[in-house]
Amino acid sequence: MKRSGRYTYLLGDTPRERARLAFQAKLWDPVSHALFDRIGVRRGWKVLEIGPGQGSLHLELRKRVKGPVDVVERSPVFAGRLARLCRRDGFGPDHVWQADLIDAPLPRATYDLIFIRWVFLFLPNPETHVKKLARALKPGGVLAIQDYHRETLAMVPRPEEWTRLVLADLAFFASQGGHASIGGYLPEMYRRAGLTVEDIGLTVKSGRPGSAVWTWLSTYFLGVLDRYTDFAPFTKLDAARLRRQWLAASRQKTSLLIGPALLDIIGRKPR
Ligand SMILES: C[S@@+](CC[C@H](N)C(=O)[O-])C[C@H]1O[C@@H](n2cnc3c(N)ncnc32)[C@H](O)[C@@H]1O
């Protein structure tokens, strides 16, 4: 398949990233299951998932439609693992485009539901992607994107370096044309793509040291801290100090981490 060659996916598919995604999915999958309930995903629906990663929600969608679910996944590692998992549930092989979404030759007016969690924040030209997905929906079909409104992210007590971390976080995603806080922009993009915005859901998770939320946020941010020093004004000294404070905060039972808010943006193509 032709590759766009314009875009590097920032987080890759290493064993460490796969373990991080699996942990994150355990924490967050119930929020997506509730979204599937609200949308009313049911047997026989034609569904497309973009960027399933470790695939827990993909298997859930297959279970709900009782059949295969089409996939666009750029990583051969994730796509290969998904194919192995799907051989076990008896719902048949998926149609898989192993490609960047922008290069996948999606059929027109085909899907009852297109679902995407944590992919849009990486994508350059998100509006072009929304329009592409809108074309692939059937009249009456639903586009459901779960992605971040990043601005709730906080550590309490707040380290002096936090504001520079937040700027580096935005710059990291922007380095490949993405937006770490894409969620809030999506409703207008839906409207410009001809979709009716039917619902915008919100979930914010927070946690103390020892909680799954603390582990989820610490694993990501301590894992990328050194890469973030490429993005001024966050410095190597900031990274070293913040890491020390983070580990010290982990030993204080009163510390608090507030995660980035997850928005569910649900839009429908007019009939
Ligand atoms: C952060 S992971 C999220 C995985 C999964 N959706 C979840 O919620 O756990 C992003 C996923 O999107 C895939 N991906 C990234 N950019 C993509 C693109 N342009 N087209 C298709 N898949 C992409 C990655 O390979 C990875 O599987």
**Tokens of residue 180, six digits:** 């770490």
d(CA 146, CA 53): 14
pLDDT at position 7, please? 81
Residue 3 has pLDDT above 50, yes or no: no
Query: How would you class 193 by CB atoms within 10 Å of its CB: exposed for 0-12, middle for 13-18, buried for 19 or more?
Result: buried
Residues with CB under 6 A from ligand 1: 9, 11, 21, 25, 50-54, 72-75, 78, 100-101, 117-119, 122-123
Residue 208 has pLDDT above 90, yes or no: yes
**For 93-151, how does the pLDDT look when each residue is reduced to its tens digit (9 = 90+)?**
899 999 999 999 999 999 999 999 999 999 999 999 999 999 999 999 999 999 999 99
Residue pair 4/25 in contact (Cβ under 8 Å)? The answer is no
Residue 229 has pLDDT above 60, yes or no: yes
pTM for the whole structure:
0.96
3-state secondary structure at position 188: helix
Give distance in angstroms: CA of 5 to centre of ligand 1.
Answer: 16
Q: Which atom of ligand 1 is nearest to the CA of 78?
A: 27
Atom 11 of ligand 1, nearest CA residue: 51
Report the mean per-residue pLDDT for the chain. Answer: 96
Atom 27 of ligand 1, nearest CA residue: 53
Give me the residue label for tokens 């290493």. Answer: 14
pLDDT at position 6, please? 74
Residue 261 has pLDDT above 80, yes or no: yes
**Tokens of residue 38, six digits:** 């609200």
pLDDT confidence bin for 219, thresholds 50/70/90: very high
Give distance in angstroms: CA of 268 to centre of ligand 1.
Answer: 23
pLDDT at position 263, please? 98
Length of the chain: 271
Give distance in angstroms: CA of 145 to centre of ligand 1.
Answer: 12
Q: Which atom of ligand 1 is nearest to the CA of 13?
A: 25
Give me the residue label for tokens 């899907």. Answer: 111
Atom 25 of ligand 1, nearest CA residue: 75
Q: Domain limits of the chain?
A: 15-153+178-206+257-268
Give distance in angstroms: CA of 244 to centre of ligand 1.
Answer: 31
Q: Residue 147's closest CA among 35, 55, 56? A: 35
Q: Which atom of ligand 1 is nearest to the CA of 123?
A: 19
Q: Which of 9, 85, 203 to mutate to test the pocket of ligand 1 (most atoms within 8 A of CB)?
A: 9
pLDDT at position 5, please? 58
Residue pair 89/115 in contact (Cβ under 8 Å)? The answer is no
Average pLDDT score over residue span 83-89: 94
Q: Where are the alpha helices (DSSP H) in the chain?
A: 15-39, 56-65, 76-86, 126-136, 162-174, 186-192, 212-228, 236-249
Give me the residue label for tokens 């796969």. Answer: 18
Residue pair 24/12 in contact (Cβ under 8 Å)? The answer is no
Q: Which atom of ligand 1 is nearest to the CA of 75?
A: 25
Residue 84 has pLDDT above 70, yes or no: yes
Q: Which of 5-9, 36-40, 49-53 comes out lowest in average pLDDT?
A: 5-9
pLDDT at position 249, please? 98
Q: Residue 265's closest CA among 97, 69, 29, 38? A: 38
Residue pair 115/49 in contact (Cβ under 8 Å)? The answer is yes
Residue pair 147/260 in contact (Cβ under 8 Å)? The answer is no
Query: Angle 211-217-221 (CA atoms, 0-180°, nearest 5)?
Result: 145
Average pLDDT score over residue span 194-208: 98
Give me the residue label for tokens 């192995």. Answer: 84
Other beta carbons within 10 angstroms of residue 163's beta carbon come to 12
3-state secondary structure 11-69: CCCCHHHHHHHHHHHHHHHHHHHHHHHHHCCCCCCCEEEECCCCCHHHHHHHHHHCCCC
Taking the CA of residue 213 as centre, how many other CA atoms within 13 Å lie in the half-sphere pointing to its CB? 16
CATH of 15-153+178-206+257-268, one of 3.40.50.620, 3.90.320.10, 3.40.50.150, 3.40.1110.10: 3.40.50.150
Give distance in angstroms: CA of 252 to centre of ligand 1.
Answer: 34
Atom 19 of ligand 1, nearest CA residue: 100
Q: Residue 143's closest CA among 161, 119, 177? A: 119
